[in-house]
Amino acid sequence: MEPTAYAMSVLDLVARIPRGTVMTYGDVAEYLGSGSARTVGMVMAKHGHEVCWHRVLRASGEPYEGGLPLLVAEGVHVRGGKVVLSTCRWDGRSGAEQGGTVS
């Protein structure tokens, strides 16, 4: 099944998330100005394998199952199994500060 125009916009944005940074499902929807965290999650469930899916997280900072080792390998700041969003969240602008430390 081909992705919808909305799904393509989600995938395009997720593909641009720099290594070492993350966005939440809600961040993606807010940046795009449409949809919701749930609709972004549905897109990612169907088509996320086409992009760096592990860089999109729940609002709590919890990565999707299997994503934590990939994030740690990228240098994302993790504490207690959750990403420290205050240090690793990307706002969608290029040149954003990247990465953090693992603790």
Q: What is the mean pLDDT of residues 98-103?
A: 36
Which residue has 């989600």 as its token pair? 10
Nearest-CA neighbor of 63 among 31, 16, 74? 74
Which domains are assigned to the chain? 5-88 (1.10.10.10)
pLDDT value, residue 1: 79
Query: Percentage of the chain surpassing pLDDT 90?
Result: 83
pLDDT 10s digits, 27-75 = 999 999 999 999 999 999 999 999 999 999 999 999 988 999 999 999 9
Which is higher by pLDDT, 94 or 5? 5
CB atoms within 10 A of CB 38: 11
pLDDT value, residue 93: 83
DSSP string over 14-63: HHHSPTT-BEEHHHHHHHHTSS-HHHHHHHHHHHGGGTTGGGEE-TTSPB
